[in-house]
Amino acid sequence: MERQQAEKTPQERPAQRGKVRLATAWLGGCSGCHMSFLDLDEKLIELAEQVELVYSPIADAKEFPADVDVTLVEGAVANVDHLLLAREIRANSRIVVSFGDCAVTGNVTSLRNRLAVDDLLTQVYREGPGRAPTGGEPDGVMPALLPKVLPLHQVIPVDAYVPGCPPDPDRIWAAVTALLAGQPVELPPEMRRFG
Amino acid sequence: MPRTVTIDPVTRIEGHAKITIHLDDAGQVADARFHVTEFRGFEKFCEGRTFWEMPGITARICGICPVSHLMASAKAGDAILGVRIPPTAEKLRRLMNWAQIVQSHALSFFHLSGPDLLLGMESDPGQRNLMGLIARHPDIARNGIRLRHFGQEVIRILGGRSVHPAWTVPGGVREPLSPENRARIQEMLPEALAIVEQALELYQRLLPQFSEEVTVYGDFPSLFLGLVTPAGGLEHYDGLLRVMDGDGRILEEGLPPARYREIIGEAVEPWSYLKFPFYRPRAQEKGGRYQEGMYRVGPLARLNICDFAGTPRADEYLQAFRQLAPQGKPVTGSFHYHYARLIEILFSLEKIQETLADPEITDSHVRSKADVNQLVGVGVSEAPRGTLFHEYHVNEDGVLQRVNLIIATGQNNLAMNQTIAQIARHYVDGPSLRQGILNRLEHGIRLFDPCLSCSTHALGQMPLQVQLMGPDGTLLDELTRA
């Protein structure tokens, strides 16, 4: 069953005028980067003054909106849904950030790459009772797995990278404040480490 | 003709999923399904790694409850080493585990469910999130942030970072707790205790507004499973497995967790990457239908199965909690997961306070050294969402031959499906869907606070789409939020 691609138009948003339209997305990862983002703690209250959160796992928009200023993308690209969402994010965001090691390199999410997808599913679900999900052909409900997990920049162009598993809150704040000010993300060396 | 409704993605839960609702010929809700669409394959790709690496790798199953995986994995490692870890190491692990209960439950109550509870189940979806909560109820939002901060900060103090700390290892922990750091945690406690007491008062005040939701958001009898202390008290780190039925009868008094396979089976369905754990003995009694073995885990289950909590304030609240059910019966309404979560935060804070007062807590002997002595190890812990099992089979070199993980959220899978079916039957009328119903269904899932990145330690993700399907599988209506 094909999902309708709605025509996107920037909504009227008089109450939110002047705020940066921020989105966060979660592909193949553990949500640890989002948790580290929430570790900004009281800075989130400061952030709420400056941004409108237009799409996020912690908000309720179901469709990725148009006209987004900055999107932080956590996780690697592991299935067809991730791939479609990544493309939609790129088409509707001015700046896309690879947020955390899975997005930047594939990291732990890509540890399955040495195994064939079919074998993986067969082995994990073989004991039953019941019929295992196939994970191969799209059936309209379950997204097909990609043969290899990919970092985000292998699927769409990426504007900035914030490494870390997860990136710690200071690193996230450094990146976010630069982005909100319209500056490039230039992290000092100690903030460019993986892990 | 039957039809299906789909919600995709499900939001404000920790993972990727969709919901479909199936109508019968008369246009009534026949069934509802919760589909987890993320698969990552941990059980398989960890084969060939060493058990020493497993705490670090399996923490990456879940960024919300990495500590639970660190505990279960390190405990499976303890069993492979065949050692007793130093008493101080166990106390320190418990400290971190309670800290995680505090942060994860605070996230669930304030950040994820707070918008529904305080702004309204059918309020404006554009505002129904943490940012909207900050705008409308800044004090409550700040309290939630502070309470979660307490838990994350304790984890950071003990383990060096709040997410994926490389601190818990087979044999114990890497670093002791300094007296200065003990004092830092003690200084933060009063504020956290005050916030959770306020939140409990708030919940009790809010409850009358949700009398309808309480009766239809997953109120049904089920089995309950979790750990208890040898004396029958509330337990989150170790202990014995207890199973209670919907009438309050104890089916398993105290099974050693390493024998979990005797009572837990795992079914699979083609429409979800999340497996369906069930209680084997009940399924066998009912002619092998695994659905009959449905049980619930997590805060609601833990408060139902224990004889007492074991700390003064939490025991007072436990008494009040038990008033929600007839004498001697368990609380069956899933809505009260919220209540149970707050009581567990209070309990965890009291336990942290008690443990920090123990002079042994700053002892420097925190790790036992050994090599492979057993070829099988099972580690268990009570994650915020329920009982977590890690089972490792290794060769003489400690290289993993087989891995089985049973995740808390998976064990609630049958109950989550039943919950959304109950909500759908109550609110869905005919072949079209109201926007507000979407969020009610999602809240049904949020009650269980699933972390699906965890549950499909296989591979997957969780947005919510609702589809309404007819009996022949044709699509009648579909709701997504634009």
Cβ of B111 within 8 Å of Cβ of A1? The answer is no
In the structure, what pLDDT confidence band is assigned to residue A137 with cuts at 50, 70 and 90?
A: very low
Q: What is the C-alpha to C-alpha distance for residues B270 and B156, in angstroms, rounded to an integer?
A: 40
Close Cβ partners of B209 (under 8 Å, ≥ 6 residues apart)? none
Identify the pLDDT of residue A73: 98
Q: What is the C-alpha to C-alpha distance for residues B386 and B301, in angstroms, rounded to an integer?
A: 8
Q: Give the model confidence (pLDDT) of B330-375 as tens digits.
A: 999 999 999 999 999 999 999 999 999 999 999 999 999 999 999 9
Question: Nearest C-alpha of chain A: how many angstroms from B229?
Answer: 31
Identify the pLDDT of residue A7: 39
Helical axes B87-106 vs B337-356, angle rounded to 10° = 150
DSSP-assigned states of every residue in B274-292: S-EEEEHHHHHHTTT-GGG
Q: What is the C-alpha to C-alpha distance for residues B161 and B165, in angstroms, rounded to an integer?
A: 5
A107 has a pLDDT exceeding 50: yes
Identify the pLDDT of residue B462: 34
Mean pLDDT, chain B, rounded, equals 90
Instruction: Give strand pairing partners of B22.
Output: B4, B469
Q: Chain B 185-244, CB below 8 Å of chain A: which residues? A: none
A84 has a pLDDT exceeding 50: yes
Query: Lowest-pLDDT range, A11-15, B341-345, B402-406?
Result: A11-15
Residue B15 and residue B453 in contact, taking contact as beta carbons nearer than 8 Å: yes
For an interface test with B, which of A4, A9, A40, A62 has the most B Cβ atoms less than 10 Å from its Cβ?
A62
B201 has a pLDDT exceeding 60: yes
In the structure, what pLDDT confidence band is assigned to residue B465 with cuts at 50, 70 and 90?
A: low
Identify the pLDDT of residue A126: 64
What residue spans define the domains of chain B? Answer: 3-37+427-448+450-481, 42-415
In the structure, what pLDDT confidence band is assigned to residue B271 with cuts at 50, 70 and 90?
A: confident
Identify the pLDDT of residue A138: 45
3-class state of residue B335 by DSSP: helix
- Please give the backbone phi and psi of residue A72, each rounded to the nearest 5 degrees, phi first: -95, 125
Q: Which residues of B are annotated as a binding site for Mg(2+)?
A: 43, 62, 405, 457
Nearest to B244 by CA among B307, B187, B315, B153: B307
The percent of residues in chain B predicted with pLDDT above 90, rounded, is 71
- Which amino acid, residue B89? A
For residues A113, A115, A111, B399, the Cα torsion angle rounded to the nearest 10 degrees is -150
Strand B376-383 with B386-394, pairing: antiparallel
pTM here is: 0.91
Q: What is the C-alpha to C-alpha distance for residues A60 and A37, in angstroms, rounded to an integer?
A: 18
Identify the pLDDT of residue B463: 38
Residue B61 and residue B42 in contact, taking contact as beta carbons nearer than 8 Å: yes
> What does CATH list as the number for B42-415?
1.10.645.10
Cβ of A59 within 8 Å of Cβ of B149? The answer is no
Q: Give the model confidence (pLDDT) of A143-168 as tens digits.
A: 788 999 999 999 999 999 999 999 99
Residue A81 vs residue B306, higher pLDDT:
B306
